[in-house]
Amino acid sequence: MPFSRRRLLSLMATTGVAGLLARPLAAKADAEVQAYTGTKATHAKISSFEDFAPDVHLTGKLLLSGAHGHKLPNSETMHGGNSTALTVLDLATGETIYIWLPVADGHIPIHLTDGRTMCCGQYQVNTVILDKEFNIIKTLTSPDGLMYTGHPLTDIERGVVYVPLKSREDAGDQSLGFIEVFDLKTLEKVDQFPSGGAAPHELRFLPGNKQMAVCHYGEVQGSYGKEIQTKNTYLAVIDLETRKVSKQIDNGLSGMLTHMDIGTDGNVYAVLSQFMGYLPDGDIESNIHAADSRLKVAMGITRDWPLSRAMVDDWRYDFPMPILKINTQTEEIKTIYTKPGFHLRCQSVATHQKSQKVFVTAHYSNVLMVQDIATGQTTAYDGKTFGVHDMRGVCEIPGTPYIALAGVTENIVLIDTNDMKMKKFFGVPVYQATHVVYLPDMTT
């Protein structure tokens, strides 16, 4: 059986949601986006804005890579093709600009140094680096037979940036993943080493910055009418001085280990993704019935939650998977489970240092789960409470009590972690964005 069924059933019987799902916010929305064409950027006026904390003044920018760059105004006449729309929201002024990038399936922008940004696609051979004005200054091409897979990590202490790689599906050993290393100043490649699993995706420093944790999607075998099968989905620990893998931690559950962050307690908080594809020649009703039956067999769960539009549109049926709390020293793994319907395609994970809380988005549930590290309590919030209907990205605004929460298609909000109230609402399109990241102000 692909799941540790007894373990998950035990969790669901003994844990629950500590908070209530609040009523949806009726957010303003309308005024059309005013777009201006250019060779580099499309500037847009915020279509709607709500400020519930006018005395709060923030600096820096929020960046999102959207996979639908082709939907930017005039993108077809300017560029065309599969591309990325980089959304840049200035927190000080509220100005939003959109920048077309020649990278397919934009996944995440990462701050390097001096305002420079690295923008990566997922499972792509190209990555671009931008200056502080968001002009492309360099394009990186993955080594032969490999492709870029996810989240780079900037190591200021060692003067390098680490970029995850996997074998292309038509070349190489799929069980092997790698980390490519670039010099931060010259942007030249200086090294490459094994990642400790298959298809590395997100990289994080462990406390002390002497080790790096790497989560892996793993080798994935999918089949219609049945959940995916995975191998080598380790949480790997790498010594950054020797660049050698010191640990490969197996969570014991079937599913891709996709995203993570490090809590203020030093533990890794990570999420899994497990799903099945619908039969391409079947109608949606029969596909859902078959998926419900498979969920019952694989996990012993009878679905009592509605399917989201995103889950239907993406032609996949996600199984509810727990959040993992992993101690990399002892390799002990604890699971965090609220209600099954809240754990559908858990995505972004972000630690907020001041509040000592970990935030997890569940895309198909449109639920934000909050783990209080001090108390161990988990609280769930409906995204519609904050005016977000298809949440996927979340990040900390460092040094403040705030987090940023973003939808896939539109809307970015700032939430106060003290009372979980929305403070600012930006009604802007984000063109199929996965993650939101904070870029510090480089002018002061």
* Residue 169: how many other CB atoms lie within 10 Å: 9
Residue with tokens 């290393």, as numbered in its chain: 181
Domain boundaries, the chain: 5-439
pLDDT at 3: 44
Copy the structure tokens of residue 282.
């079947």
The secondary structure of residue 342, as a DSSP letter, is G
Rounded CA separation 433/74 (Å): 19
**How many Å is the maximal CA-CA distance in the chain?**
59
pLDDT at 315: 85
* CATH fold group of domain 5-439: Methylamine Dehydrogenase; Chain H (2.130.10)
Q: Are strands 41-44 and 200-205 parallel, antiparallel or unpaired?
A: unpaired
DSSP string, 151-194: --EEETTTTEEEEEEEE-TTSS-TT-EEEEEEETTT--EEEEEE
pLDDT at 222: 79
Burial status of residue 204 (CB atoms within 10 A of its CB: 0-12, 13-18, 19 or more): buried
Asked if 223 contacts 275 with a C-beta cutoff of 8 angstroms, the reply is: no
301 phi and psi angles, rounded to 5 deg? -115, 135
355 phi and psi angles, rounded to 5 deg? -85, -10
pLDDT at 64: 98
DSSP string, 202-215: EEEEPTTSSEEEEE
The secondary structure of residue 25, as a DSSP letter, is P
Residue with tokens 């694989």, as numbered in its chain: 298
Copy the structure tokens of residue 188.
């030249």
Residue-wise pLDDT tens digits, 155-199: 999 999 999 999 987 666 778 899 999 999 999 999 999 999 999
Closest to 276 in 3D by CA, of 249, 253, 246, 255: 255
pLDDT at 15: 36
pTM of the model: 0.90
Classify 245 as helix, strand or coil: strand
pLDDT at 341: 96
Which residues of the chain are modeled with pLDDT < 70?
1-48, 74-81, 170-172, 223, 443-444
